[in-house]
Structure 1
Amino acid sequence: MNPYTAQRIALADTYLPAAGPLATTNRGFHECYNHLLGETLDRLGHAIPVLVMLHDDLHLSAAGSRQYVQVVPEHYHQLKAVAHSGFGMQLWLMTHRAKVLNETLRSQLQANSEVLRQSRAALDCLPIAERATPATLLDTSLGFIHRIMAAGGVETELVEEYSTWMAPHVMKLARAAVRLEIDALHEATDRWRRELGESMWRDVYVVLCGTHQPRYRQAASQYFDRVLGEHPGIGAESEDRIVFAENIDELDGAFDLLARHIVDQQASTMIFGYRGRLQKDLLADVATEYLDQILPTGE
């Protein structure tokens, strides 16, 4: 059993109730659950192939071996940084809208200009085909700074003009970045699918690790929805072979979450006849019924 799971299992003794026969019953439940969890973990990466998207890499665990490939290239982060420079400029303008420039604000603008010029020079490391849009965004942002300096203040009209101009250019950067990611994802996934063979591929699970709650229609999630023929949705109840791991940044944690997901689905199918029932709060439906009594909507 992996260390991440072992650490979580050790916490079971701290769950309430703390003492008495009900505490013994509760511990018995967790012992049975953890036994099934251990059996499932033993199958993950062996009989059950698992893909894990962790940071910039896609990992494959299958037949007892692991391999990985970087699917978010450095160029992706460079394009993202340029987009952030545009957003940063926008936030600065929003903060200081309608203000007359004093020495502090002039110094800030001069510092921003220097950063933008250095960033512009750094674009030489990008492939030629990917330079045009970030160069335009940085050059135009510099131009706006010069106009603000010349006007002696952050005029509201300039703020609104920059906002209108920036949005489509940021989306062009986003389009270029997501193509880099999806192309690399598709190349690695397609190759591994051929290596595994269709009989083993039918059992594959995907875990997408992130530091934030899952974004609606996140790029990698959309990609694997299509590859695995899943039906996209919002929230854990919609997850089947694709699972989002929030705030998990290690493979052991991803495997622990996936094992719990599989055990919960199996138990849910046997108890409720619906594999996704335990992927929403067990109290959800009865809570709605009771709230309809004490706080009916529409009143």
Structure 2
Amino acid sequence: MATRRGFIGGATGISTAALLGSAATPSAADTGAAASEAAAAVTQTQARESLFAVNAGMRANYATLKAELIKHLAPVVVVQNDAKGGRFTLVTKDGQESANPVSQTFELAKSIAHVPLGIFSVIASYLADKIPNLPNANRIDAHDLVMVAFNDETSTAWIEPLRAYAAKLTTARGNLAAANLPATLTASCAAVIDGGLKFVNASIAAKHFDMKSFEDFSGSVYPAIRTNMEHASQAQIKGVQDIMKTWRAKVGEAAWADLYCVVLSQWTTSVLNQNTIILKDCMNAAKVSTHLIDLPGLEPPADPVFTALDNLARIVQDNIAAELVFPKDTTVADALKGQQDLLSDEILKQLGSNTVTTLSAPTYNTVATAAGVCPVPH
């Protein structure tokens, strides 16, 4: 026996209304009139809200897909840049594991190399807002200087915080030999600390400093800072390459070929980021341009791994959406897949420009030195 649903659903060419004994299908004129009445009853605000609701629905659907996609992202290496050389996390279908693979030499060398910046941070706001005749005077923005030098240059309020920082330098200098660093690094650290203490003591005694005296100090310790940078770089290269080699063996060649690497950094270090440079040579060379992703931010996120995966999910689903939503316009599809806003071309066109002005993509030296060659075979 046919059910009511089956009978109605199976009937073709007959309106449901007619089957149920309702009036005949309304004419086009009647339909238009009804639509006009309905439209008249809707305010402009209500109408626009209904249009906004369409995009809200899209965003909800998009967020749902992204939340589910996060669970399927693998393999991924997430790098949170930090003072220790980076916190690395490998994400696979079996879970996550994290490590700080860079030796302490990295952090120790950078710690002492930062002495001039530590001193500058104390005295900067008391600098006079007039640029002296320095070799690099034309590179100093006068307005930037005025904003940084916001304190009274005649004040001596900088003396106590500078003396406190000098106490840390003095302690470090006394303990330097016991730190058991390489001889060349020990010598360069000593030179930087001694130079810093000399500047501090002279400034406190005179109750005065200026940009010229500070530049004389920072310039004098620069060769030693370069030595510290060399040691820090060597430690970072080795640590990153070693962990990537270990994880590649664990993941397997087939999966590693599709590896995504997401590097979280601050804007000031997001171009030619130190870890990005090293990771490049440890990945599938054919996919580096699309699978090595720098995510510059303002401050380190509370949950860096989730932040990286959340952004990666957006990138991955946009890669597929771009080709399916815009199959007839590869230029717009590329915009959705990349960092370009979809409206950018149209805005440039309306503003009278047909070209996009962008920063050059970072390039890397692919001819690595012996110290910089990734041990992982490609």
Q: TM-score range by the shorter chain?
A: 0.7 to 0.9
How far off is 1:262 after superposition? 0.4
SS at match of 2:272: coil
Q: Is the 8 A contact 2:195 2:221 kept in 1?
A: no
Q: What displacement does 1:32 show?
A: 3.8
Q: 1:211 to 1:18 in 2, by over 3 A?
A: farther
Contact 1:90/1:162, CA 8 A, preserved across alignment = no
* Partner SS for 2:271: coil
Match status 1:282 vs 2:342: yes
3-state SS, counterpart of residue 248 of structure 1: coil
How far the C-alpha of 1:155 sits from its partner, in A, is 6.5
1:85 alignment partner in structure 2: 115
| AA in 2 matched with 1:143 | K
User: 2:321 aligns to what SS in structure 1?
Assistant: helix
Counterpart CA distance in 2 for 1:34 and 1:160 is 52
User: C-alpha displacement at 1:200, in angstroms?
Assistant: 0.6
When the two structures are aligned, how many residues end up with a matched partner?
A: 268
Q: Is 1:273 the equivalent of 2:360?
A: no
1:50–1:206 CA contact under 8 A, matched in 2: yes
1:116 and 2:169 correspond: yes
Q: Distance in 2 between matches of 1:18 and 1:71?
A: 57
Match of 2:75 among 49, 66, 84: 49
Contact 2:323 2:330 in 1 (8 A): yes
The Cα offsets for residues 140-173 of structure 1, whole Å up to 9 and x where unpaired, read as: 2223334446667437653332132133333332
| TM-score, L = length of structure 2 | 0.61
> Where in structure 1 are there 5+ consecutive unaligned residues?
1-16, 233-238, 294-299
CA distance in 2, matches of 1:100, 1:209: 38
When structure 1 is superposed on structure 2, of 215-224 and 91-100 the one drifting more is: 91-100
Q: Indicate how the Cα distance of structure 1 residues 100 and 225 shifts in structure 2: closer, same or farther if over 3 A, else same.
A: closer
SS in 2 for 1:222: helix
Matched residues in 2 for 1:126 and 1:52: separation? 31
Report the identity percentage.
21
Cα deviation, 1:259-290, whole Å, max 9, x if unaligned, reads 10101111223324366422211111111111
Q: Which AA in structure 1 matches 2:238? A: D
Q: Show the counterpart of 1:26.
A: 55
Give the superposition deviation at 1:192: 0.8
Q: Would you say the 8 A contact 1:49–1:201 is kept in 2?
A: yes
Opposite residue 83 of structure 1, the aligned amino acid is A
Query: What's the TM-score, normalizing by structure 1?
Result: 0.75
Q: CA deviation at 1:185?
A: 0.8
Q: Which has the bigger relative contact order, CA under 8 A and spacing at least 6?
A: 1
Asked whether 1:291 is paired with 2:348, we answer no
CA distance in structure 2 between the partners assigned to 1:31 and 1:147 by the alignment: 63
Q: Which has the higher helix share?
A: 1
1:218 matches 2:267 = no
Q: Secondary structure at the match of 1:180?
A: helix
User: Secondary structure at the residue paired with 1:292?
Assistant: coil
- RMSD between aligned residues: 3.4
Distance 1:83 1:215 in 2: 21
- The 5 Å alignment of 1:221-232 reads 221-228=276-283, 229=285
